[in-house]
Chains A and B, each alone.
Chain A
Amino acid sequence: MDVDLIFKIAAIGIIVAVLNQLLVRSGREDQAMLTTLAGLVVVMFIMVQQIADLFTMIKSVFGL
């Protein structure tokens, strides 16, 4: 679990925001929403993995 992960998520968020703005301005709003959703799915995959790691660590540290 690294600090880099936080920056990765922030970078994904900023890129998705920029792409969103671009697509909305050029009139393709449905593609903008799809991009946002795709970014969210990627971020959620990473998040779920980290949360699972956290739970495993808590189990092993507390010896449960």
Chain B
Amino acid sequence: MELMFQIIGIALCSTMLCLVLRKNNPEYATAVAILTTVLILGMVVSTIHEVILHVRNLAIAGGVNLSYLETVFKVISIAYLCEYCCAVLEDAGETAIAKKVELAGKVIIFCISLPVIESLFRLITALF
């Protein structure tokens, strides 16, 4: 709960700072925005750490192949990072670069998840 309050407080403070800086030096406003997003993302990710440990223990107990779980985690982190970067870039006005980063994220996620899809097909064809 305190985490939510902290994050809201930080976000509101840096919004005001961004507004003050944007008139004279817009680049510093973008820098403040980037740093704020890095900070908030860091706080959220370190909270998720516990959840990930629990999920890993559940997967081991359930007998799931750990390499598939690693793939899922990779995809999740790529999605988070890609979304973060796209939002920051769009705010800075570089929509073209943001779209290309989004495309890169989609391509990388697809390439990473290819072995999983392959083994799924093998499993299905092995049934027949």
Contact = CB atoms under 8 A, between A and B. Distances in A.
Interface of A: 1-3, 5-7, 9-10, 12-14, 16-17, 20-21, 36, 39-40, 43-44, 46-47, 50-51, 53-54, 57-58, 61-64
Binding site of B, secondary structure by majority: helix, strand, loop or mixed? helix
Interface residues of B, number: 33
Contacts of B76: 62
B25 A13 contact: yes
10 contacts: A1-B39, A3-B13, A10-B32, A14-B21, A40-B27, A43-B28, A44-B31, A51-B34, A51-B38, A64-B74
Contacts of A21: 24
Between B70, B74, B77, the greatest number of chain A beta carbons within 10 A of the residue's beta carbon is seen for B77
A47 B31 contact: yes
Contact of A64 (B35, B42, B56, B70): B70
Interface string B54-92: 001000000000000010011011001100000000000
Binding site of A, secondary structure by majority: helix, strand, loop or mixed? helix
B116 interface: no
B77 A58 contact: yes
Interface of B: 10, 13-14, 17, 20-21, 24-25, 27-29, 31-32, 34-36, 38-39, 41-42, 45-46, 48-49, 52, 56, 70, 73-74, 76-77, 80-81
